[in-house]
Structure 1
Amino acid sequence: MSFDVSILVVSYNTREETLACLASVYEQTKEVSFELIVVDNASSDGSAEAIEETFSDLTLIKSTENLGFAGANNLAAEKATGEYVLLLNPDTVILDQAIDRIVAFAQADSEMGVYGGRTLFGDLTLNANSCHGAPTPWSLFCMGTGFSSLFRNSTFFNPEGLGAWRRDSVREVDCISGCFLLIKRSIWEQLDGFDLDYFMYGEDTDLCLRARKLGAKCLIVPDAQLIHYGGRSERVRGDKMVRLFKAKHQLFQKHWSPWAVGFGGSMLASWALTRYLALRVLGFASASYRQRAEEWYSVFRRRREYT
């Protein structure tokens, strides 16, 4: 049997969030046929056992090692039979038939595309991380100097953040977040899935950049809404930012001219340093700012890991 969409979920020590995510998929997906394929990345919190006990009709792959986000999704995609593949983070909750809506949009779209939705935080305020602009030397300069933070609503100074746009209209973007990313399976296979050089972070940006080189468009479908809590499987901010910066540097090496790679690395270090200095100034008024400043300084100290 073939399905409209194969939904891929990678779980890693997010037991309760994963169970809630999977329950929301079953509850909210009513109009398209789907299969659920879950890879548990060697969780130690009983995630695999809980998934197996609660949901008997999905495909569960229990990995004996942590394959990372890229590796686990590639493994899950090998089992996929749907016309489309939907990457879905375990720390999400589907709202208002979001999967039905995004698949219907894709099926009606005459062009080859990669599709994302509109993500919200738990309090239903906008989580703008469903998409972003492609990293460029200019965008890294703006981040490294703090301009992107000072002028968040400017598309000129905050090009990766896409300025003040609230993700509330159908719009072509450079990159879709892997937390909720729909792609035709034939395109996924043509791209050979995620590049396994990326363990966690950066693989979705790389996928979108490669898809666009094939002629695909990345489109946001605002009617497809979901909650994305974010960061549940990696709670130490310093470690998370080092991983993120390392992935960004990998993207520079793969997609930028050689002359720009060193500049990008220096801007990553500057990004950490400027945030540290700004938060140190604010720290005179608040202990929480002082704590965040120390987290950013730890990222700066570890710059050899990502440059």
Structure 2
Amino acid sequence: MSYCHLRAINATTTPSSTQRRPRRWLAALALAAASLLPALPALAAVPAAELQTLTDLYNSTNGAGWTTHTNWLSGDPCDNHWSSITCDAGGAHVTEVGLNGNNLIGTLPSLSGLTNLQYFYVDDNQLTGAIPSLSGLTSLQDFYVNNNQLSGAIPSLSGLTNLRNVDASDNQLTGAIPGLSGLTNLQGFYVNNNQLSGTLPSLSGSTNLRDFHVNNNQLTGAIPSLSGLVHLQRFYVNNNQLTGTPPAAPASLLAVNSALCPNYLSTPSPTDAAWDTATGSTPWSTGCTAAPSATGVAAVPTLGEWALLGLGLLLAGLGAARVRGRP
């Protein structure tokens, strides 16, 4: 093939500089776009409601001041491994919030968006305000908010059938203890050292209960039956205003791991010896006193008492007149 023929072929197959410029421009545009991609936030794999709840938690408890807040508010909580957050195997849902002892200061937001939450630990912080509703958190197993400055009432636990442990001790909670019926998996219930009032709830359905601590409150009424609580090991109801006689002590109670007094409880109980062993005090009633009587109300005399009082005053007056009339 001649040289001239080759040049002719090249002239028809090789693009001109004018033809090459659009390709260079497109390549430069692609590189520029690629350089911007890392700056864009990753799409969240968890549902928007879960992401929003965690964001609210961060903002309402001064997340910037937490002891540890690695990767928080950056991308997806599961994919970006936000500190103290655990997700399910597929990385699709948040299952644990473990922010205990992490210098949280502020109030807890609504937790309703964390519908797959199993474990919630925010104990040993500086949280104030109320405990949010737990309604709908049917996967919840452990709920620890102890050692804060929380106030208001303990929310309803109804329907939380997977619940194993509730610790709201050492706060400033008021109101009544919520019902525990239907919580067949409940093992530990700790609400001691608060300002709770009202009566103790029935424990008849909490057949797996091991620890029950409601001491140091303002609870009144009788101690409910402990029949059927075959796993109960520790039972603390001391330092309240409970009355009546204690029920029979379950055989499962550990020695020196319960307390009934001080209260206004009376003897005998159906199982005094068992309570002596469980409380480590013989008798178990040491420290309990009789309920105080009403004071500060003056007794109103009856009609008969008024008559006797009037007669006495009349006789006293006649006697005085006779003395004055003597020479």
Same-fold call, TM cutoff 0.5 = no
Bigger fraction of residues in helix:
1
> More relative contact order in 1 or in 2 (CA 8 Å, sep 6+)?
1
Q: TM-score, normalised by structure 2?
A: 0.23
Q: TM-score, normalised by structure 1?
A: 0.24
